[in-house]
Amino acid sequence: MNNYYDGTKLLSLKDLDGNTPEIFMVTSNRTAGKTTYFSKLVFNRFLKKSSKFMLVYRFKYELDDCAGKFFKDIQGLFFQEYELFSKKMATGIYHELFCRKLGEEKAVSCGYAVSLNSADQLKKLSHFFSDTSCMLFDEFQSETNNYCPNEVEKFVSIHKTVARGQGKMNRYVPVYMCANPVTILNPYYVEMDISTRLTSEVKFLRGHGFVLEQGYNEAADKAQKESGFNAAFSKNRYIAYSTEGTYLNDSLTFIEQPNGKSKYLATIRYKNCDYAIRSFDTLGIVYCDNKPDMTYPNKIAVTTDDHNINYVMLKNNEMFIINMRYFFQQGCFRFKDLKCKEAVLKLLSF
C-alpha cells in the first residue's frame, strides 16, 4: 500500500486562521487510494474508539447497498474478519450501519448513511445522529455535473443536523471530502472561494475552516497508462482526467488583457458590482472586466441579492450561460483580475 495515498500531511495542517480545520478535502487522479485511505481511517476509529461515522451521498437511491459500496474494498485489504450491513431507518430516509465479526451473531451500530437531498427530513431526526464523530463525502465533485438543487445549502444543513446534541449547540464534527478533479466550477470550490485561488501548481490550500490537498499519484498514473484498454482510448480527454489528474471539464484560466476589436455580450452583476462580458472573435476568447456598458440591454443578476427590475435572473439566460460555460471549459476565458474571475465562476457554477 506504500504507493497509495496517505492523508497524514493533510490531517496535520491548520487552516488559514491557525485553527484545526473541520473540512478536509482531497482531489487526485483515479485509483490513487484517497477513498480507501479515509474509509479505512473512519472504520479504524470506530473499532478503536467506538467513534461512529456518517457516509454522505447525493441522492436517496444511492443509499441502496451503501454498506457494500463503502466496505467491500477495505474489507479485503484490511478488515477480513469483519462484515458490514445496513438497515433502512425512518422509512428509508437514512440507513444505519452495523458491523460484526465473521461468525458472530451480535452486530453493533457503527454509523449512518444519508443523502444530501433528504436534508430537510433529516433535520427532524437530528437526535439519532448525536453520536456521529465524523463524516465522509466521497465524489463531492460530480463527473456529470449532476448536483442537487441548492446542494451546498443542503450539505451545510446536514452538518448542522449532525453537529448539534450531546449538550452542545455545536460539536466539532470533521468532514472528509474526496473527489477526482472534475471542474473548478463545482459548487463547493465556488462557494468556498477555492476556484479563484487554485492553480495547477498548488498542492495544499488553506482556507477559513478547511484545508485542501490537490494530489497526483504517479504510480496510479503509470498503472492506468499500462492498461491496454486505456491505450485504445488514449486520445479521449476522460483518460487524461482519470490517469493524470487534470480537470475533466477545465482548461487553464488566465488573467490577462486581450487586444483588438471586441463585441459586447452582457453585463453581469455580482455582489452589487457590474462586470462586462465581451468576445474577441479574432482571438477566439471571451473576456470579463469591470468596465460595463450600462446602456446594453442584456443584464444578468448572478444572485438573488443582485436582482432588481433592470436585471434578469440566471434561469432566464440558460442558453447564454451554457455557451459561456463551454468557452470556459475550452480555456477561452480571460479576466482582468481575480474579482472578475470570481464573478464569472459564480455565474457559470453548477
pTM of the model: 0.81
CB 80 within 8 A of CB 72: no
Looking up cell 449538550 gives 167
Q: How many residues appear in the chain?
A: 350
Q: Reply yes or no on whether the pLDDT at 198 is more than 80.
A: yes
Dist. CA 346–CA 350, nearest whole Å: 9
Angle at 185 between CA 179 and CA 188, to 5 degrees: 55
pLDDT at 242: 45
Query: What pLDDT was estimated at residue 277?
Result: 98
Quote the pLDDT of residue 63. Answer: 98
Summarised one tens digit per residue, pLDDT across range 251-287 is: 555 888 999 999 999 999 998 899 999 999 999 999 9
Q: Of 97, 148, 143, whose CA–CA distance to 120 is shortest?
A: 148
Three state DSSP letters for 274-287: EEEEEEECCCCEEE
pLDDT in tens, 87-111: 999 999 999 999 999 999 999 999 9
